[in-house]
Structure 1
Amino acid sequence: MNKEESKRVQVSFSEKQWKLIEKLKGEMGVSDAEVVRNVVISWLSEKSFISTSIKKEKM
């Protein structure tokens, strides 16, 4: 993904939330950004937002 295709956002987490994210390092990514991005993508996929969005684009 190049810079032209990406969007940067700033988010805040509580200490408790951050500890959970840190526990996912190595399993869901190496960097903080990679872990957070993969958590978001996983959640979107789990909730079927990704497949629903793709289906709508095809119509």
Structure 2
Amino acid sequence: MSKRIQVTFTKEQWSMIEKFRGILGESDAELIRNIVLIWLSEKSIITTKIKKEMDDENGNRN
């Protein structure tokens, strides 16, 4: 399942985000998705348990 949302950025915010094109993704959606996931990870919102569950769902059993 995927979810589409509309997000609005100021010109300055988008200019900053654009600097990561090619590093964090090519499309606008890829850029924003990866920035959000990186932020969640850095804030420890994605816990070890959730990471393990995601790995299990994707067949990566360690």
TM-score computed with the length of structure 2 as normaliser? 0.75
Please list, as runs of the form range in 1=range in 2, the aligned pairs for 1:1-59 lying within 5 A after superposition: 5-51=1-47, 54=50
For structure 1, which runs of at least 5 residues remain unmatched after alignment? none
Runs of 4+ in 1 over 3 A off after TM superposition: none
1:53 to 1:24, Cα distance in 2 relative to 1, 3 A? same
Q: Give the CA RMSD over aligned residues.
A: 1.8
- Write 1 or 2 for the structure with the bigger share of helix: 1
For structure 2, which runs of at least 5 residues remain unmatched after alignment? 54-62
